[in-house]
Amino acid sequence: MNKKQKLYRWLGSTLLLLIIPIKIIRVINLSDLNKFIIGISPSILGPAGLIFFLQSGTGILSKLSLNQITAIVVIIALTLEFSQLFSWPWNLLKAKYTFDWYDVYSTIISIFIGHVISFMTNNKIFSNRDNKVAL
């Protein structure tokens, strides 16, 4: 595993794990602006984190191009967002679904930002002369 893959694994894991405390914070009574920011935060962190995490592997996914990984993330993320519109059987009917269009917009923005950052690091725009990824 090279330094770039380690960086992607670290970034992806951090972004994805940050979703857990944000989901816990949602139960606290917050002002409307804070509710909005906390509400869209998982949609901002998740897709970008998934793009980075999928690029950090050494298996089959490591052979995919950035565009292919981004397409996979688009399908997964938007499917998860729009699946909240369906009614689900049994105990899932009692779950609170939080679909809104701001989550969809946040997801698209997150995917775009993750793709651009990955493109720039893959093409060594942020690299120095020793081929080390600069932070």
Check residue 106 and give its pLDDT.
Answer: 96
Q: Give residue 118's domain range.
A: 3-84+95-122
Residue 131 in any domain: the answer is no
Predicted confidence (pLDDT) per residue in 97-127, tens digit: 667 899 999 999 999 999 999 999 888 765 5
For the stretch 22-59, pLDDT in tens is: 888 877 777 777 888 888 899 999 999 999 999 998 88
- Using the 8-state DSSP alphabet, how is residue 114 labeled? H
| Domains: count for the chain | 1
pLDDT of 102 reads 92
Within a domain: 132: no
Q: What is the mean pLDDT of residues 82-110?
A: 79
Q: Is the pTM of this model over 0.85?
A: no
Please indicate, yes or no, if residue 134 is contained in any of the structural domains: no
The position carrying tokens 């949609």 is 43
pLDDT recorded at residue 9: 93
Is residue 89 a part of any domain in this protein? no
